[in-house]
Chains A and B, each alone.
Chain A
Amino acid sequence: QVQMVESGGGVVQPGGSLRLSCAASGFTLFNFGMHWVRQVPGKGLEWVAVIWSDGNLKHYTDSVKGRFTVSRDISKNTVYLQMDSLRVEDTAVYYCAREQLGVGPDYWGQGTLVTVSS
């Protein structure tokens, strides 16, 4: 069955870096894109980034452009979110969510918590 498992979250100081992973199973990234969506605990959902099924086309929300990079490793069926120059306001649970062929996100992972604090 379709499943995504995120990992890589943790506590980091402002200005630091983290790399999140989203390991997919039950489908291949050759055929599906992947979104990253974040949620400050107790707050709403915010779209962060997407990598399309071709692996080359990527989009980011304005607040993370130039700081976050989405990529993938087809051999591992895994998507990554490299987060640099982290800010306190990046603190959130980060979810990966599969893009259903132009329709939008369908399946979601369980999320990984990123805390940016000194």
Chain B
Amino acid sequence: DIVMTQSPLSLPVTLGQPASISCRSSQSLVHSDGNTYLTWFQQRPGQSPRRLIYKVSNRDSGVPDRFTGSGSGTDFTLKISRVEAEDVGVYYCLQGTQWPPWTFGQGTKVEIQ
């Protein structure tokens, strides 16, 4: 199984400042079809997960452009250019290249300091 490792697990941020979350996979996430199936989810307190980014860098409809996904192979990053209060929550990466199982990272808790 592919293991997904996120860092940091806790990220105190200042409003208006940038934030960055790392996600590393134990194997390359490049699929034989040429795509890389790395997804980012946001889970606000008390809510279900919401997809932000799919296939590394494709932003979902309605997701603010301050969220950017990047990376390749085994190393991926979610960046928030300027953190807003509504960004508080836990962020998860998910690999869907080699399944089953689909595997999530442990989650990164973003909070305002």
- Chain A residues within CB distance 8 Å of chain B: 35, 37, 44-47, 50, 59-62, 95, 97, 100, 103-111
Contacts and interface: CB of A to CB of B under 8 A. Distances in A.
B101 interface: yes
Given A59-B99, A59-B100, A60-B100, A108 B50 contact: yes
A104 B104 CA distance: 12
Contacts of A47: 100-104
Contacts, number: 60
Given A44-B105, A47-B101, A100-B54, 14 more contacts: A35-B102, A45-B92, A45-B107, A47-B100, A59-B99, A62-B101, A95-B48, A103-B37, A103-B39, A103-B96, A104-B37, A104-B96, A104-B102, A105-B102
Main SS at interface, chain B: loop
Nearest to A104: B96
Main SS at interface, chain A: strand
B106 interface: yes
Nearest to B97: A104
B39 A104 contact: yes
A118 to B, nearest CB: 28
B8 interface: no
A45 B100 CA distance: 15
B102 to A, nearest CB: 4
